[in-house]
Every structure is written in structure tokens, then in C-alpha cells.
Amino acid sequence: MSGEAEPQGERLQKVLARAGIGSRRVCENLVADGRVAVNGAVAVLGQRVDVRTDAVEVDAVPVPVAPDLVYSLLNKPAGVVSTASDPEGRPTVVELVPAWPRVFSVGRLDYDTEGLLILTNDGELAHRLAHPSHGVAKEYLAEVEGPVGAGALRQLREGVELADGTTAPATVGQLSPGVLRIVVHEGRNRQVRRMCEAVGHPVLRLVRTRIGAVSDPTLRPGTWRTLGHSEVRGLYTASAASSAQDPARRGTAGARQSGGTGASRGDRGAR
């Protein structure tokens, strides 16, 4: 026996490349340039990491490296609840994606709301996207009662007084009479419906069309697909950018990454 210990963990550039950051060479250069951190300390060439426990960042944005993390983008139909189970026995979003690894929805869409919903077992990303301090943009198409006048549009844009406080500024356009495109950065319960109702235009139909930079007009209702590495990176980047003013949220990368065990999943599916 030589007595030399086996090196622990995997080489950082290999882990980064597997996470979709770039080729191993590109990742080596990122490390050499001091743009990679492990557990808050600038990484060095040749460093090894434990993907189950170490928190890796590139350009101060967390990179999810834990094994078995899954990210699905579902086009939720109306008539489905976003919780994992429903006391009333209504269909749930988790029934529309593979049962394993277990995932949960990032935020919620109302029973009657349609559109894009992310399901994941990455607790860190879920927390970042759901937390108001991160303010990732969510875009909705809202069909509302009646054409909306200039005054109501201005109110929607500037802020609407709701029971839980005035809404933050939103981007609102009327695509055709009674059809609004609304971009909000908050995630309050039934927010868009309550905003429209408050200005006298109850929602008839609501569809979420974008989360951060993630959209997919080709995804049919009731079907899902796996998010690409660059989409996941984009969501982390968007949430990091919008939380830059919130120091309390820095340096927690990886703490909530829960790598479930699981069989591999297809890339696209319908149930």
C-alpha cells in the first residue's frame, strides 16, 4: 500500500462543464480568471469539489451542481391545482410530470390560471424565484371585461391599492380591446386578478406566458419539457441580479439544493 489518500471529489472544471457552463477549457479559464467561487472562496485551478455539499458560483451566481436536480417547465391547463395534493381531490400539477424524483411547483398558479409553471427539486432556485425580494419578472396575458381605458391602464402600471398593500409598478399594455399583457415582479396571491378587479375589469381568462427569460409558445397545455442549462442559469442570474440590493440573501448558494435520487427523465412529456 502506498499510503497516499485518493483525491476526494471531482475536478471543478468537469463539474462546471457538466452543469452547462461551457467546455472544460472554457471552465478552466473561468477558474484561472478568478470568476469561480466554492463555498464563498475564489477557486483555484485543480480544485476538487463535492457536488453534494459544496456551493459553486460563477460570477457570483450560484451554479446548481448537486446530482439529480430536475427542472421541468409545465404548461398548466385550467382546472388543476398547483399544490402537491388537494383536499377536494382535484387534479394536481405534480400528476402531469413524472412522479420521481419528487418535485414541487415554484410558486403557484390559481386553479383557473393557465400557463407556465416550473416544477423542480432545487429548493434554492424555488426559494429565489418565489421570494419577493428577488423580483423575477412574470408575464401574463389577461382577458378582462371590457376595453380598458387610459386611467385604468395607468393605475395598473403605477400601482393598485389592494387589501395587502399597493402593488409595485408593472408593465402593462393593451394588445387588443380587453386583452392585457401584464408584467409583474411580485408574486402575491391572485395578484393579477385582484389588480384587474380593483380597476373595474375582472379577469375572464389568465395565462402566464413568461418567467424571467423562460417562455415557450410551442408547449401545449398539459405538457412539460426539461429546462435547458442556459434557462436554469438565466433564472439564477435574474434572481441574483434582482437581489443584489439584498445582502442578506448573498452567500447562501447550495444551502437549499436538495439532490433527490431518481431515475432519468425524458426531455418532454405529457401525461
Q: Which residues are near ligand URA by CB under 6 A?
A: 109-110, 113, 190-193, 206
Least separation in angstroms between residue 73's CB and ligand URA is 16
Output the nine-digit C-alpha cell for 193: 386578478
**Centroid of chain to Cα 260:** 18
Helices (H), the chain: 12-18, 24-32, 123-130, 150-158, 191-198, 229-242
Output the nine-digit C-alpha cell for 240: 441574483
> Can 110 be counted among the known catalytic residues?
yes
Judged by beta carbon, residue 36 or residue 81, the one nearer ligand URA is 81
110, 122, 216, 246: which is the annotated catalytic residue? 110
Least separation in angstroms between residue 183's CB and ligand URA is 11
Least separation in angstroms between residue 192's CB and ligand URA is 4
259 vs 18, 66, 68, 123, 227, CA distance in Å? Answer: 15, 6, 5, 9, 17
Judged by beta carbon, residue 30 or residue 206, the one nearer ligand URA is 206
Distance CA 182, CA 115 (A): 14
Output the nine-digit C-alpha cell for 92: 394536481
Q: What share of the chain is helix, strand, coil (3-state, %, to 5)?
A: 25, 25, 50
161-162 and 61-63 as β-strands: parallel, antiparallel, unpaired?
unpaired
Judged by beta carbon, residue 113 or residue 223, the one nearer ligand URA is 113
Least separation in angstroms between residue 79's CB and ligand URA is 13
Least separation in angstroms between residue 163's CB and ligand URA is 14
Beta bridge partners of 104: 120
Enzyme catalytic residues: 110
